[in-house]
Chains A and B, each alone.
Chain A
């Protein structure tokens, strides 16, 4: 099949959605399909520009290319799903969250003027039309599917995307808890640092970089936990696999995350996950007392859960195994099979 994978492009930015779509294209090609990324730059401000930029997708004709039909399009993220195609599949990474659950929060975009309120509603209307016309609608997590149903009434099938390819292995129950995430406030790595400050025996390794890095390093210094919280920065694939293999658990507790690959990577290494009750997507697979610990988003709770897993190796190993049993089911073969069915 000839398949166009549609994603918006924020020039000079590259993140999880780009990695996901690049990987999807590679996996489709590996299965004999002719797949290609179709990308349109996206700028969502000021004012009604979010709508005009979204509308650009509506004018594209992806029914054929150079005289040959495009059999199917897979759209991923607002506003790429505004594209028209008789075989439109949507694998929803997220909607334009500023128009939904982020509205009237610090992360929101729309003010209280009638124009701003109307733009927000128009984004929702566009979603209802564009997502409603998809032949099949998938969401990367129960969290994304739930938001979609609450906001538009549309029901999506949950289709998680597989973790990145790494040399996942398990070298046993280690002595540190691992955080692998972008250093961004919404990822709440500070919860783990504060937990280390509360629990003097807790060892932490933090992988990743990001805009919150300086603040987090300052926090470590302020709390006097430099000797137990190590920032590993960006690491290569081998080092990442080794860190997963040698920790006793991982920490992954963003605020209302869309999906979250972290738990899958941890599980594939046989390691349980500590997350928070409001983490969103991770809660699809991290279950308290089964594949990890789910606690209130408070440092004391995180500290207690981490220490418990460290001090109960048999349970931690069993939780990691249970998580692995879930994660190994999430394969590209299965995902692509459902996507194209």
Chain B
């Protein structure tokens, strides 16, 4: 069986490119995979199944949507909210009408009118301040013959959106941990947040909570790693909260090895997010591989992390207070940190093993490529046998047969 894979690949800088590169050798050990060159519009000849990795970045995934439009196939949906992607491949290509159509498809005429307002610059862009309200996933879901998703959350949202095809939930694979020494950062304990420093990573709430904890816990430190997003005035916030170099350690964008070393140094990984685009966090997966306890926002995929691995913080009016309690607990109870870390490592081995994830992927490929024909063959044989003995379509007996077929995944 030959599978054509449409995905960004290194050296392209994209989390999904890294993801595909990690997974590809394990997939190739189980299945014939052809990676399609960037920009190609069709799968190679002899392809049994086309697989499209779709994320929210129009630069990385625009050409993949173009190919999906020509040849339907299995979509690996990395984000449920695709507003950035869709705006990029519509407005970004000078096709305002397509953007308006996507909005109307999502949420009716009022959304189309909002789109007009955006295009006339009367209101701020929806992809900046309200993307979660308008996911714009309709076209991609309409073209997909099946979905691979990484969480129950995205599965449920796709179903709620009306997607009726098969969906396979395949966990994100764990990254192999490189053999590197941990960075020397200090802090007892050292809390760390990795990724862009901005409001959607709940950095304001984290800083405020840490500033409240720090006076009583002066050995604790907070490490922020990642570029500061434009318009986010980190320095002024730090100054206002009285967080100086003794309490806060700052590193901007870092390369892969340094990232791992800093992740190893951290005692607790803080991975907050709101709103969520339905994504799975690669940095949270790395934390699991390293056996680090997590503090996460109680949203989307993060809500599915077990309680013995992650302290989940609801995004509500008590968010800062809950964060303070979480930081306090993990500062004063190293035994809890140790237990959570062990549970995290165990979860990474159990759920995110690369070989196991590849096996689930190939199972989905095989079912997506041949499942329809097999289902048809089974239904044909069963219905012919039923018809031979006078069981009419729609009769009670036929309904029971259909129900039994459905129970064991044979359609009906």
Binding site for B on A (CB under 8 A): 47-49, 51-52, 54-55, 58-59, 82, 84, 112-122, 124-126, 129-130
Contacts and interface: CB of A to CB of B under 8 A. Distances in A.
Nearest to A122: B374
Contacts of B367: 118, 121-122, 125
A120 B382 CA distance: 19
A77 B370 CA distance: 26
A114 B366 CA distance: 6
A120 B374 CA distance: 10
Interface stretch (B218-226, B262-270, B401-409): B401-409
Contact of A130 (B373, B400, B408): B408
19 contacts: A48-B374, A48-B378, A49-B381, A51-B374, A52-B381, A55-B408, A58-B405, A59-B400, A59-B401, A114-B366, A116-B370, A117-B366, A117-B369, A118-B367, A121-B366, A122-B409, A125-B367, A126-B408, A126-B409
Nearest to A125: B409
Contact of B404 (A55, A113, A119, A120): A55
Given A55-B405, A114-B369, A116-B370, 12 more contacts: A51-B378, A55-B404, A114-B1, A114-B48, A114-B370, A117-B366, A118-B366, A118-B373, A121-B371, A125-B408, A126-B409, A129-B409
A194 B183 CA distance: 60
A48 B380 CA distance: 11
Range of interface residues on chain B?
20 to 34
B392 interface: no
A91 B283 CA distance: 44
A82 B378 CA distance: 16
Contact of B374 (A55, A82, A112, A118): A118
B404 A115 contact: no
Given A51-B378, A112-B1, A113-B1, A118 B370 contact: yes
Interface string B359-394: 000010011011101100110011000000000000
Contacts of B366: 114, 117-118, 120-121
Nearest to A116: B370
A84 B410 CA distance: 16
Contacts of A121: 363, 366-367, 371
B49 interface: yes
A59 B404 contact: yes
B410 A114 contact: no
A55 B409 CA distance: 11
A119 B370 contact: yes
Among A54, A118, A119, which residue has the most Cβ atoms of chain B within 10 A? A118
Interface string B327-343: 00000000000000000
Contact of B371 (A58, A82, A122): A122
Nearest to A133: B407
A129 B408 contact: yes
Nearest to A82: B408
A48 B409 CA distance: 14
Given A58-B404, A82-B408, A117 B378 contact: no
Contact of A48 (B363, B377, B404): B377
A116 B367 CA distance: 10
